[in-house]
Amino acid sequence: MTTALAIHSGAPVRGPGRPWPAWPTAAPGAGAALDAVLHSANWAITSPYRDRLYERRFAQAFADYTGTAHCVPTDHGSSALVIALESLGLRYGDPVLVPALTWTATATAVFRAGLVPVLVDVDPATGCLDAAAVAAEPEAAAVIAVHWACTMADVPVLNAAATTLGAKVIEDAAQAHGARWRGRAAGSLGWAGCFSMQHSKVLTSGEGGAVVTDDGAAAGLMEELRADSRRYRDEPVRGELPLYETAETMGANYCLSEFAAALLCEQLSILDDQHEVRNANFLALERMLADVPGVRLPRRSPAQDRLSLYEVPLVFDPLPPGRTNAWAAEAMTAELGLRAYPPRVPLSRSPLLAPWRKSTLAPLAERFRALHADRRYPGAEYLAGHAVLLHHSAFLGTEEDMADIAAAAAKVARHPGGDA
Ligand SMILES: Cc1ncc(COP(=O)(O)O)c(C=O)c1O
């Protein structure tokens, strides 16, 4: 006997009146910090200098947080990727490896930097690039390793594979602030690490981004690349711009505003406490799902010694007969009163990645098309077709919430399919 699913008018696992945690959550000092900027004469790093910029304070705090020597804040995670790629000094049209399972910005940033993304498959157990995929691409001029959803790519082995090709690894850690691999922070393991602070991310200012690196020369170039060819003065003078025209390269304006920087300074102060709550709940869910046939979490490497949950993928395999993971996501949403959703399609068939729609990209688009004529992505397709994602905010509550998620997953997984 099966219990009727909530999408078939059965009783939901979680009734009304039990809301899920809200997102975002403002840190205790956020209001005061925003107010301080509002009543200062410094709303941007391009304002005449008065006091130490929040942007400089955030850069220091985030470099410390990731254990890196330099942090260059940006207006978006996409811009962080663009300036990291530009600072590599590659030639127009050089190929850059990008996993097929990621947000479109990882690949569009490559085009924006005048390069060509080469989409490669991911390991279906983790959703991340593996070393074999890199070794199979001897032409690669750079590799972008995305830490997907809540798992980390094995960057040390990717570094080794990329080094034999003479390429550098850029970590796209937009979904992994604070994750650690053998004690080292996501973003600090490759040559550079790029972060997004967009609204849905675990560290957010609505929009924002940053690159971290230990490479001082590259960090200087990145400063220019994101501030119209200008760098910070070592000793800013009151009343004058804190930037001066160094122009070693030609930049654009991707600067983070002082409001966003002030907010990030405060939000960073609560990030680790939030990680603790989310990660304890994740481990509880992992224990609960161990007894549920047909549902599992992605493989977690023991080397990843701290999780940073962005989206938690519940992998339904097998799916109920005749059902898709989009159906499972709808069924989970109805059981929980919480948005559950399938991953986006692999970039190889994403309507968002269409360089041929931009006339100025024509030569790169042509190269992109030619490079992708015969490629297949079984690993990315597997996850895109079997996973159901939950946003990290659902893990900011209690173990009771995890019991609801496990019960809903079990109910959906054991559905016999058909019209039942
Ligand atoms: C993996 C990944 N890379 C890059 C980005 C781009 O970041 P932003 O939206 O801040 O430009 C995102 C944002 O969703 C992302 O998830």
* Mean local confidence (pLDDT), 193-208: 98
Q: Is residue 372, in this structure, part of any structural domain at all? A: no
The span from the CA of 74 to the CA of 313, in Å, is 29
Distance CA 307, CA 273 (A): 13
Number of domains in the chain: 1
User: Tell me, what's the pLDDT at 281?
Assistant: 98
Q: Tell me the H-state helices in 124-214.
A: 131-135, 155-165
pLDDT digits (tens, 9 = 90+) for 258-284: 999 999 999 999 999 999 999 999 999
Say whether pLDDT at 1 is over 70: no
Q: What is the mean pLDDT of residues 98-118?
A: 98
What domain range is 101 assigned to? 30-268
| 376 falls within a domain | no
- Determine what percent of the chain is predicted with pLDDT higher than 70: 99
In percent, the amount of the chain with pLDDT more than 90 equals 97
The residue whose C-alpha atom lies closest to atom 7 belonging to ligand 1 is 77
**What's the pLDDT at 296?**
96
Is 128 a pocket residue for ligand 1 (Cβ < 6 Å)? no
Residue 419 has pLDDT above 90, yes or no: no
Q: Please indicate whether residue 209, judged by its CB atom, sits closer than 6 Å to ligand 1.
A: yes
**Res 264: pLDDT:** 98
CATH code of the domain containing 169? 3.40.640.10
The answer to whether residue 219 is domain-embedded is: yes
Span from the CA of 316 to the centroid of ligand 1 (angstroms): 26
Q: pLDDT tens, 291-326?
A: 999 999 999 899 999 999 999 999 999 999 999 999
Beta bridge partners of 245: 230
Q: Is the model's pLDDT at 417 over the cut of 90?
A: no
pLDDT tier at 195, thresholds 50, 70, 90:
very high
- Compute the average pLDDT of residues 331-344: 98
User: Does residue 16 lie in a domain region?
Assistant: no
Q: Are strands 192-196 and 168-172 parallel, antiparallel or unpaired?
A: parallel
- What is the pLDDT at residue 94? 98
User: For the CA atoms of the chain, what is the radius of gyration?
Assistant: 22
Q: Which of 76, 78, 256 to mutate to test the pocket of ligand 1 (most atoms within 8 A of CB)?
A: 78
List of residues 6+ apart from 26 with CB closer than 8 A: 266, 267
82 has pLDDT over 60: yes
Strands, E assignment, 214-294: 230-232, 243-245
> Does residue 170 fall inside a structural domain?
yes
**pLDDT tens-digit series, residues 358-408:** 999 999 999 999 999 999 999 999 999 999 999 999 999 999 999 999 999
**Ligand 1 in reach of 257 Cβ (< 6 A):** no
- Stretch 332-343: mean pLDDT, rounded? 98
3-state helix, strand and coil shares in percent for the chain, rounded to the nearest 5 = 40, 15, 45
Q: Is residue 176 domain-resident? A: yes
Residue 205 near ligand 1, beta carbon < 6 Å:
no
Instruction: Calculate the average pLDDT of the chain.
Output: 97
**308 ligand 1 Cβ < 6 A:** no
Answer yes or no: is pLDDT of 116 > 70. Answer: yes
The order of strands in the sheet holding 340-341 is 295-296, 311-316, 387-391, 340-341
Residue 4 lies in a domain: no
Q: Is the CB–ligand 1 distance for residue 146 below 6 Å?
A: yes
Q: Is 54 a member of any domain?
A: yes
Residue 351 DSSP SS3? coil
Calpha distance 175→159 (Å, rounded): 20
